[in-house]
């Protein structure tokens, strides 16, 4: 695959550049489906050439979009969990034209991906960039995040990473207020939308040994969903393409909660543990950091929310690296980002040499929307607008839920069916069967049946084994 070409910072690529990247992508796509050089391949390329000559760009088919999104995750140099790239669920939201439509699609994304804690890797793709002046943007760097409030004394309550732009929203003023979504469509001024509380799965943080840990009042959300990156595919740029997966414990336990410029809870945890915090030579920070990560992992497991520890994630990346070297002859990796921030040297990735290079399709960093947006009205007057705030009726919410269920059922029916049969006197077999079904449900349409119940007449069992 070709690396992403040089492009205008906030504009459309030159037609020649689009064709160069498009040709490479389309060839890879048809190679992947085993139809390279066929009439279909030739006709598709001719159609793309005509479209680019007429409009300076072209549109991907849904199948091409799905393939490209999965490849972009596969090519992400900084992601340690790429072994799951082929299971990415792709939602095509390119037909959305308003911020209200974007918000509804994002709510569907959050609900589907959260899946009551059994997180599913998901991406939703909004309309592509045209001239750079009519972009669709999600101003939040993540779909879900906690607000930060600047206090009169200069301190920050909440998350210092997200001290928010004033568009009229007022939170409850706690350290864990969920931020609204700030969206702009077709280059228009942004609007904010409050995410329904029942969509945001949150996990209260406790410790398996230290009862006082609950008194810290810590919590975090279950779904990490990056929304501030650009999806670059086949010469086409998508400035709004939020994608989500599951957390690795150190992302919360070592970074979000313990970084000095974030929630910075280490001093308080060290004090409550009775450690000597007067000098770093006592290694109090190291001991406190481990216990915070123990608490986070314990809390997510207790709440039934998917999370991977950094040792398991490192081992899975090594398997992914082995597969990629065998299948593609290489795997881009950014060592600085891949290596976990905790217990680094005792993970296998620490000792692995990595080659840092870029492939397309890809996810790219871009300037925050608030830095580049051209306002159509005074930004200070946005919250005084007479336009009514969007409120969703019960009927609209039900329709959104039905839409999500329909998408899930459609995806489920395409999976291979697997029936897990158990015979139990004490309930132990049933418990293990349910655990196996939960594991299989990530790839199969799994169903659990009692050996002497509904399955018995169909398979001819007449006596207990």
Our separate counts of H helices and E strands in the chain read 13, 18
Q: Reply yes or no on whether 251 is catalytic.
A: yes
Instruction: Report the alpha-carbon angle 183-147-387, nearest 5.
Output: 40
Q: Reply yes or no on whether 211 is catalytic.
A: no
Dist. CA 326–CA 319, nearest whole Å: 11
Q: Which of 82, 120, 129, 137 is catalytic?
A: 82
User: What are the residues whose beta carbons fall under 8 Å from the beta carbon of 403, sequence distance 6 or more?
Assistant: 108
**Cβ atoms 327, 316 nearer than 8 A:** no
User: What are the residues whose beta carbons fall under 8 Å from the beta carbon of 91, sequence distance 6 or more?
Assistant: 105, 108, 109, 112, 122, 123, 124, 125, 407
Q: Which of 28, 79, 164, 233 is catalytic?
A: 79
Find, among 110, 122, 116, 120, the residue nearest to 69 by Cα.
122
- Say whether the peptide bond before residue 405 is cis (omega within 30 degrees of 0): no
Q: Reply yes or no on whether 73 is catalytic.
A: no
Counting every residue written for the chain, the total comes to: 465
> Where does residue 355 rank: exposed (0-12), middle (13-18), buried (19+ CB within 10 A)?
exposed
Q: Reply yes or no on whether 82 is catalytic.
A: yes
Dist. CA 353–CA 341, nearest whole Å: 17
DSSP output for 266-290:
HHHHHHHTT---S-GGG-HHHHHHH
Q: Coil, strand, or helix at residue 92? A: strand
Rg (C-alpha) for the chain, rounded Å, is: 24
Dist. CA 147–CA 362, nearest whole Å: 29
Return the H-helix or E-strand segment holding 247.
strand 247-248
**Cβ atoms 112, 120 nearer than 8 A:** yes
Q: Which of 64, 191, 237, 251 is catalytic?
A: 251
Instruction: Report the alpha-carbon angle 286-289-295, nearest 5.
Output: 145
Q: Which of 237, 246, 291, 324 is catalytic?
A: 246
List, by residue number, the catalytic residues.
79, 82, 246, 251
């Amino acid at each position: 695959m070709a690396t992403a070409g040089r492009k205008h910072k906030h504009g459309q690529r030159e037609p020649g550049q689009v064709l160069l990247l498009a040709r490479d992508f389309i060839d890879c796509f048809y190679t992947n489906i085993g139809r390279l050089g066929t009439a279909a391949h030739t006709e598709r390329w001719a159609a793309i050439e005509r479209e680019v000559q007429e409009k300076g760009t072209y549109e991907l088919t849904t199948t091409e979009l799905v393939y490209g999104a999965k490849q972009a995750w596969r090519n992400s140099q900084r992601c340690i969990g790429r072994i799951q790239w082929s299971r990415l669920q792709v939602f095509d939201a390119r037909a959305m034209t308003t911020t209200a439509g974007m918000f509804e699609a994002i709510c569907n994304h959050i609900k589907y991906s959260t899946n009551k804690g059994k997180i599913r890797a998901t991406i939703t793709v909004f309309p592509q960039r045209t001239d750079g002046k009519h972009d669709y943007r999600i101003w939040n760097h993540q779909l879900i995040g906690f607000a930060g409030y600047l206090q009169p004394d200069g301190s920050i309550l909440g998350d210092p990473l997200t001290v928010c732009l004033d568009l009229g929203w007022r939170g409850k003023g706690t350290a864990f207020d969920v931020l609204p979504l700030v969206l702009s469509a077709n280059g228009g001024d942004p609007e904010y939308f409050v995410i329904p509380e029942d969509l945001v799965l949150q996990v209260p943080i406790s410790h398996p040994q230290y009862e006082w840990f609950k008194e810290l009042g810590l919590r975090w959300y279950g779904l990490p969903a990056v929304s501030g990156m650009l999806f670059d595919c086949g010469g086409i740029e998508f400035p709004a393409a939020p994608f989500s997966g599951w957390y690795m414990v150190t992302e919360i336990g070592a970074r979000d909660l313990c970084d000095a410029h974030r929630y910075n809870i280490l001093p308080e945890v060290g004090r409550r543990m009775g450690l000597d915090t007067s000098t770093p030579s006592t290694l109090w920070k190291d001991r406190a950091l481990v216990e915070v990560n123990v608490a986070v992992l314990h809390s997510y497991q207790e709440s039934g929310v998917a999370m991977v520890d950094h040792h398991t994630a490192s081992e899975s990346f090594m398997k992914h690296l082995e597969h990629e070297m065998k299948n593609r002859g290489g795997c881009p990796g950014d060592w600085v980002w891949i290596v976990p921030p905790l217990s680094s040297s005792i993970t296998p990735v620490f000792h692995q040499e990595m080659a840092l290079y870029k492939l397309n399709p890809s996810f790219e960093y871009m300037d925050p929307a608030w830095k580049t947006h051209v306002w159509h009205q005074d930004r200070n007057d946005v919250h005084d607008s007479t336009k009514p705030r969007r409120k969703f009726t019960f009927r609209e919410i039900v329709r959104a839920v039905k839409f999500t269920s329909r998408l899930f059922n459609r995806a489920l029916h395409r999976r291979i069916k697997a029936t897990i049969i158990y015979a139990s006197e004490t309930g132990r077999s049933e418990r293990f069967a349910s655990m196996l079904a939960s594991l299989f449900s990530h790839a199969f349409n799994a169903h659990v049946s009692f050996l002497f119940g509904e399955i018995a007449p169909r398979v001819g069992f007449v006596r207990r084994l």
